[in-house]
Amino acid sequence: MRPLHCHSSRNNSRAAGGPWSARSLALALLPLLSLLSPTGCASSTEQDGVSLLKFLQGLSQDSGLATSWRNGTDWCTWKGITCDADGAVTEVSLASLGLEGRISPALGEMPSLLRLNLSLNSLSGGLPAELLLSRSLLALDVSFNNLNGDLPELPSTFAGQGRQPIKLLNVSSNQLTGQIPPLTLAGMTKLVTLNVSNNSLTGEIPSTICARTPFLSALDLSFNQLNGSVPVNLGRCSALRVLKAGHNELHGTLPDELYDATSLEHISFPNNRLQGALSAERLAELRSLVVLDLAENGLTGGIPDSIGRLERLEELRLEHNSMSGELPPALSRCSSLRTVILRSNGFHGDLNSVDFSTLPRLKVLDFMDNNFTGTVPESLYSCSDLTALRLSSNGFHGQLSPGIGRLKSLRFLSLTNNSFTNVTNALQVLKSAPSLTTLLIGANFRGEAMPEDETIEGYRSLQVLSLADCSLSGEIPRWVSGLENLRELFLSSNRLTGPIPAWLSGLSLLFVLDVSNNSLAGEIPTALADLPMLRSETTVDDDDDDGGSSSQSAFPLPVYMAASLQYHRANYCPKLLNLGDNRLTGAVPPEIGRLKGLTQLNLSFNSLRGEVPQAVGNLTNLEVLDLSSNRLTGKIPRALESLHFLSYFNVSNNDLDGPVPAGGQFCTFPSSSFAGNPGMCGPMLVRRCSAASVEAGLPAPVRDAGLCGGDVVVFAVTFGVFVGVGVLYDQMVLSRYFG
C-alpha cells in the first residue's frame, strides 16, 4: 500500500508497488479524496486522472476521445496516454486528432508529465501559464493550432530560479499576439529549443535572450511582426546552432556580437529591414555555418574574402539586397556549397575570378539581375550536380561553350537578357545537356537568324522554351516539331516570317504558344484547333512525364514575370494562344471554338477579315479575348455573353457594326473595348442604338434583360475581374520579362 502525498514534493517519491493496485486505490478513493484535498494535495496518480478529465471537458470537439477516456477506467490505457512503471502519466500525445476547444490549465498539474503534444489540432484560447509553470514538463508542443492571446508572463519570482525543467517549447503556427515575455524566457533556464514562429508576435526580441538560457540551441522567431534590432545578447548563446528570425520587421545592422555565437550552423533573417555589411573581419569566426540566409533586406557591401573559411557552408542566400562588389575568389574554397542565390543585387565583375571546379556539390546558382560581365566560366561546367543555373539580366557575352553539355543534371537554364551571341551554336551545344527542362535564352542573339538546322534535335525533356525578344529572322523552325515534351513556347518579338506551321498541332503537350510581334503571314491554320492541351480543360501534371529525369518541377527556381509575380511551377501558367501583331490574313477559323481550355486568346494587330465566329462563345474558360486592330465585320455574336470569366475584351479598330451585346460581362467593358468601329452602337458608345438596330439583334432571354446590377451577374463580374487582373498582368509582362 503506497502512501498518499502532496504532488508539490519535487521528487514525486512513490513507494514500490504494482501500478495497477495503486491506480485502483486512487480510483476507489477518488470521491473521498476530492473532499479531503481542497488544496490540491492528493495522490499523484489520482491527480493525473482528474487533470485529464478536466482537459476532456474543455474540448468542444473531442473527435471520439471520450469513448476511450471514460471516467472510472484506467487512464494508462486511454488513447494517447503513456504511463511509467509506477502508473504515473508521463506523456500525453494527441497530435492531429481534430481536437477543438480550450487547453485546460489542469494539464499543468500532472506531477509526472514529461511530454505534452497537442500539435496539429484546432485548439483555441490562450496557452495556460500553468503549463509553463509545470515542475515536470520537458517538452510542450502546441504548434499548428488556433491559440490566441499573449504568451503568459511568468511571475518575476520564477526568473532564474532554474526550477522550470522545460527544454522544448513549440508554440509555432498559432495566432499568438503580444510580446515575447522576457521574464518567461528568463524563467525557462533549461530551454534547448524555442519555436514561436508563424504567430503575430510584436515588439522586440527580448534583450535578455540567452542571458539565462545557456543551453538554447534552436531559436525560431520567424514569421511574426517583431521589430527593433537584433539583440547583441544573441552572441552569448554559446550553444545556439539554429537562429531563424526571417519575415519580421527587424532593422539595424547584424551586431558584431553575433559573430561570438560560434556554434551557429544556421542563420536566417530573410525579409527584414536589416542594413549594413557582413563583417569581413569576423565572418570567418562562424566556422560551423551551414546556412546563411539574409535575403530581402537592405544589406550593402560585398561578400568578404573571409567567406572562404566557411568550409561547411552549403547554402548562401543574399537575394534582393543592395550588395555590390566582385565575388571573392575565396568563394571557391567553400567546397560544401550547394545553393548560391545572389539575385537582384549590384554585384559586378567577371565570374571567371571564381574557380567553380572546387565546388562539386553545387546544385542551384542564381545570379539573375546583377551587373556581372564577361563570359560564363568554363570551370562551372565541371559542377555535374548543377540543376538550376540562372544568369539572366546581367552583362554576360560570348558564345556558349560545348562544355555546358557536361552539365548532365541541368534542368533549368536561364540566360535571358544578356549579350550572348550565335544562337545556332547555343542550340547545338545545349542539346547535349540531357536533362534540360526549361530553357530561357531570350533577349540575346539580337538580329541573328533563327537556326533552321535539322540537326538541332535531342531536347527530349524540354518543356519550356523561350527565344523571345531576339529580333531573329527566318521562319518558325521545323526542329521545334521534334520537341515532344514542349508545353510552353515563347517566340514573340522576333522578325519571323512565313506561315504559322500546321505541324505545331503535333505538340501534344503544348498549352502556351506566344508568337506575337513577328511578321508571320498567311491564314491561321485550322490545325491549331487540334492542339490537345488547349482543347482539354485539364492541366498537364508537372511530374507526369516519360523522361524519368524530369520527375521534379520544371521550375526549381521561381520564374519571375514581374518583381512581385512569380511562377513556382510551369503548369501554373495560363493556357494561351497569342498570335497578335503579325500579318495574318483570312478569317478567324470557327474551329477555334474547340480550344475549350484556352484562358487567353490574342489575335490583335493582324489583317483578319470576316465575322467573329459564333463558336468563340464555346471558349467558356476565356479570361482575355483581344481581336482588336483587324478588319473584322458583322456583329459581335450574342454567344459571347456566355463567357462568364471574360475580364478583358477588345474588338476596337475593326469594321464591326450593330449593337454591343447587353448581357453577360458586356456591361463591364469600357467603351475603348469597342472604339474605332464606326458602325457599332451601344449605351457606352457615342452612337446610341436605334430601336430598329436593337430589334435586329437576337431576342434576349428574359433572365438576361437588364441584369447588369443583378446578383448573379455581379458575382460573375467580381470573380472575373479578380481572376482577370492577375492574368492580364502576367500576360503584359510575360512577353517582355521571362527571367
Ligand X SMILES: *[C@@H]1O[C@H](CO)[C@@H](O)[C@H](O)[C@H]1NC(C)=O
| Contacts with ligand X, residue ranges (CB under 6 A) | 30-31, 53, 57, 71-72, 95-96, 117, 119-120, 139, 141, 143-144, 168, 170, 172-173, 193, 195, 197-198, 202-203, 218, 220, 223, 227, 242, 244, 346, 371, 393-395, 417, 422, 424-425, 428, 471, 493-495, 516-517, 578, 580-581, 590-591, 593-594, 602, 604-605, 615, 618, 624, 626, 648, 731-732, 736-737
| Residue 63 Rama label (left phi>0; alpha psi -120 to 50; beta) | left
Cell 565541371, residue? 382
Q: Which of 216, 480 has the CB closer to ligand X?
A: 216
661 with 638: CB under 8 angstroms? yes
Q: Which of 309, 406 has the CB closer to ligand X?
A: 406
- Closest contact distance (angstroms) between CB of 227 and ligand X is 4
β-pairing, 266-268 with 291-293? parallel
Instruction: List all residues 6 or more positions away from 627 whose beta carbon is below 8 Å from its beta carbon.
Output: 588, 603, 604, 608, 612, 650, 651, 654
DSSP annotation string for 328-347? PGGGGG-TT--EEE--SSEE
Q: Helix 19-36 to helix 44-57 angle, to the nearest 10 degrees?
A: 70
Instruction: List all residues 6 or more positions away from 544 whose beta carbon is below 8 Å from its beta carbon.
Output: none
β-pairing, 89-93 with 81-83? antiparallel
User: Whose CA is closest to 132, among 185, 60, 54?
Assistant: 185
* Amino acid (one-letter) located at 652: S
- Closest contact distance (angstroms) between CB of 549 and ligand X is 25
- Closest contact distance (angstroms) between CB of 482 and ligand X is 18
- Closest contact distance (angstroms) between CB of 536 and ligand X is 13
Q: Which of 553, 602 has the CB closer to ligand X?
A: 602
- Closest contact distance (angstroms) between CB of 544 and ligand X is 26
170 with 154: CB under 8 angstroms? no
Q: Which of 148, 424 has the CB closer to ligand X?
A: 424
Q: How far apart are CA 47 and CA 41, in angstroms?
A: 9
- Closest contact distance (angstroms) between CB of 371 and ligand X is 4
C-alpha angle 124/127/131, rounded to 5°?
135
Q: Which of 248, 438 has the CB closer to ligand X?
A: 248
- Closest contact distance (angstroms) between CB of 453 and ligand X is 9
- Closest contact distance (angstroms) between CB of 73 and ligand X is 10
* Amino acid (one-letter) located at 674: F
* Amino acid (one-letter) located at 338: R
Q: Which of 266, 333 has the CB closer to ligand X?
A: 266
- Closest contact distance (angstroms) between CB of 146 and ligand X is 8
Q: Which of 202, 539 has the CB closer to ligand X?
A: 202
Q: How far apart are CA 148 and CA 150, in angstroms?
A: 7
The sheet with strand 122-125 has its strands ordered as 59-61, 100-102, 122-125, 146-150, 175-177
581 with 516: CB under 8 angstroms? yes
Cα-based torsion angle of the residue sequence 145, 149, 154, 155 in order, rounded to the nearest 10 degrees: -160
Q: Which of 387, 393 has the CB closer to ligand X?
A: 393
Instruction: List all residues 6 or more positions away from 374 whose beta carbon is below 8 Å from its beta carbon.
Output: 349, 350, 351, 352, 396, 397, 398
Q: Which of 195, 693 has the CB closer to ligand X?
A: 195
- Closest contact distance (angstroms) between CB of 695 and ligand X is 26
Instruction: List all residues 6 or more positions away from 692 whose beta carbon is below 8 Å from its beta carbon.
Output: none
- Closest contact distance (angstroms) between CB of 470 and ligand X is 8
Query: What is the grid cell recorded at 679?
Result: 458602325
Q: Which of 484, 591 has the CB closer to ligand X?
A: 591
User: Whose CA is closest to 468, among 500, 513, 507, 425?
Assistant: 513
Q: Which of 121, 550 has the CB closer to ligand X?
A: 121
Which residue, judged by CB position, is nearest to ligand X in the bound state? 580
Q: Which of 369, 545 has the CB closer to ligand X?
A: 369
- Closest contact distance (angstroms) between CB of 499 and ligand X is 18
**Which letter does DSSP use for residue 449 in this model?**
B
| DSSP H/E element including 535 | helix 532-535
